[in-house]
Structure 1
Amino acid sequence: MLSDLYAGSLADAARRLESTPLKLVEAQALARPPALDAMIALAPSSQIKVLAEVKRASPSKGQMAAIQDPAALARIYADNGASAISVLTEEQKFKGSLQDLEAVRESVQVPLLRKDFIATEHQILEARAAGADIILLIVAGLPEADIARLMKFSSELGMTPFIETHSEEELKIALGLGAALIGVNARDLSTFETNRDLFGELVDLIPSGVIKVAESAVRNADDVAHYRRAGADVVLVGEALVTNDPAAMLRSFLQAGKY
């Protein structure tokens, strides 16, 4: 499944290149104001940080929410305490777009993550051109050398690479690459089942100075409290927000994640 998701994202990127040449994308990226500092926004504090996601659908759950106005949803997130916002831009399975990211960028002043299956410099330039400050690199989906190259490229653009892991082996790769923002995703990308305890099993391997993000299996405030007790600095949440009252859910998450 993961290889299919990458193939689909790369095919969509190639299609966009036909209408927007790489030099133009690069010029648009470099014309953007400097990227916002995600490491400051997501830095550990006495309260858990929430990376709130604009997410319409997923391969495991199908359609979740129509989200006719992603900018309006992003404003709700920002107004109710989200420290950063993730925007799904994958078109085929997650029903997102770069236009969603651009709309959100015009609407809020918090750091934005382009959530997609990124494997090329072109996709990173697209992200910066659309206003993203953070890009996602998935250890399970890319060779280590490619992750290192793309981390360097995104950093040169002033962006923050967010490295997603799913196992001890992947976490060690991320740490070996010097990642400073690391996620442990509770969702098995082969079976799509979740293990809420995976973060707690791996967190002691992550040194201080690295921002620790718990991803997936966040259904309610109890799950946020569970991750906070395990040592999470940040939770990334999509489904629970888009399928409920996002403002109320966010407030409950922040309350549950206090020391």
Structure 2
Amino acid sequence: MLDEIVRHKQEQIRSHGKDIMETFQAAEVLPPLREFAEALNVNGRVSLIAEAKKASPVKGRLISETRFDQLPVLYEQNGAKAISVITEERYFEGSPFLIQKVKSRVSLPVLRKDFIIDLRQLYETRLLGADAVLLIAHLLPKDLPLFVETAQQLGIEPVVEVHDRYELEMALDTPTRIIGINNRNLKDFTVDTRVCLELVGLVANKVQCIAESGIRTVEDMLMLEQYGFSAALVGEALVTATDVAAKTGELAWYWKNEE
């Protein structure tokens, strides 16, 4: 599945890459950016990054268009500190223009999640006004430092996603300030929440860590706090919740339930 997604992404870039660069070079003013790193580890707690996600390659459509449009405001009103937006179109039913749509509705910083494999996508990300961008280490085995540095030069916060020790070592060899440890294996889309717990101890304190995938409960959030995570990125548990507002509030303000 991952290879298929990347092939489709390569086709898109071949078709639109030149237009992206021409638009960037012609832009007189770029959208203002919000500080993403400051939204993590607020008051020493694990911040909630709530994901706006329409569909997945495994489960298909997760939420109606009407409910999807309500997500950003519900997330902000109920304690999320940042919003992740999936912009991949064919398999996740996203769109790059969702970045602008979400930022127009909330004051939170926005992370663009996509399959970034070409530097021109970073220039597109800056044009869209995304405050941070996900860089999947597995897809950038040779060029990860270049992509991290280019994102930083553009003013975008790079979040380097890893799934194993080798990818983590790649990430630590870059100047990234944030590493996302994904419990999901992108080769088969299985999830094992032990992955993030095993890898986080190898990360220096100066680098913030985000736990990704498989986080669903207050107990999960408390565990991440014990292991030193700065944030948790949660998608399906929020999107598929019967009451999105209540579930967001539960995970965002989980420490109230410690007593």
TM-score greater than 0.5 by the shorter chain: yes
C-alpha distance in structure 2 between counterparts of 1:149 and 1:27, whole Å: 24
Residue 162 of structure 1 pairs with residue 149 of structure 2: no
Instruction: Compute the displacement of 1:74 (Å).
Output: 0.8
The corresponding residue for 1:93 is: 91
Q: 2:227 aligns to what?
A: 230
Q: C-alpha distance in 2, partners of 1:69/1:32? A: 30
Q: Following the alignment from structure 1 to structure 2, what is the Cα–Cα distance between the partners of residues 255 and 69?
A: 22
TM-score, length-scaled by structure 1: 0.91
Cα 1:21–1:32 change in 2 (3 A) is closer
Identify which of 21, 30, 36 aligns with 1:32: 30
Give the distance between the partners of 1:256 and 1:189, measured in 2 at CA.
Answer: 29
- Secondary structure of the residue aligned to 2:253 is helix
Mapping of 1:36-51 within 5 angstroms? 36-43=34-41, 45-51=43-49
Does residue 178 of structure 2 align to residue 181 of structure 1? Answer: yes
Task: Give the RMSD, CA atoms, in angstroms.
Answer: 2.0
Matching of residues 130-169 of structure 1 within 5 Å: 130-144=128-142, 146-169=143-166
1:66 to partner: Cα distance: 2.2
State the alpha-carbon separation in 2 of the partners of residues 67 and 232 from structure 1.
Answer: 32
Residues 110-129 of structure 1, C-alpha deviations (whole Å, 9 max, x = no match): 11111100112221121121
- Structure 1 match to 2:121: 123
Distance 2:10 2:81 in 1: 29
**What is the alpha-carbon distance in structure 2 between the residues aligned to residue 27 and residue 81 of structure 1?**
38
Question: Match of 2:21?
Answer: 22
Q: SS of the counterpart of 1:169?
A: helix
* Aligned residues between the structures: 256
Provide, for residues 51-74 of structure 1, a one-character-per-residue CA deviation record: whole Å limited to 9, x for no partner. 111101111222211233655311
Rounded Cα–Cα distance in structure 2 between residues aligned with 1:171 and 1:106 = 34
Q: Relative to structure 2, which stretch is displaced further, 59-68 or 200-209?
A: 59-68
Which residue type is aligned with residue 42 of structure 1?
L
Counterpart of 1:94, as a letter, is F
**In 2: Cα distance, 1:163 partner to 1:15 partner:** 26
Give the match for residue 254 of structure 1: 252
Q: Structure 2 CA distance, aligned partners of 1:26 and 1:228? A: 43
Conserved? CA contact 1:187–1:193, under 8 Å: yes
Given the two structures, how large is their TM-score scaled by the length of structure 2?
0.91
> Cα deviations across residues 133-163 of structure 1 (Å, max 9, x unaligned)?
111111111123x211111111111110000
Mapped partners of 1:236, 1:117: distance in 2: 17
Alpha carbons 1:45, 1:233 under 8 Å: kept: no
Aligned with 1:183: secondary structure? strand
**4+ residue runs over 6 A deviation:** none
Distance 1:44 1:105, change over 3 A: closer
Deviates more, 1:121-130 or 1:85-94: 121-130
Separation in 2 of the partners of 1:49 and 1:233?
Answer: 6
Q: Secondary structure at the match of 2:75?
A: helix
Percent identity, aligned pairs only, is 35
Matching residue of 2:214? 217
Deviations 1:18-77 (A, max 9, x none): 7x452114444x622442121112245332101111101111222211233655311111
**Equivalent residues of 1:212, 1:232 under 8 A apart:** yes
Change (3 A) 1:71 1:131: farther
Alignment correspondent of 1:10: 10
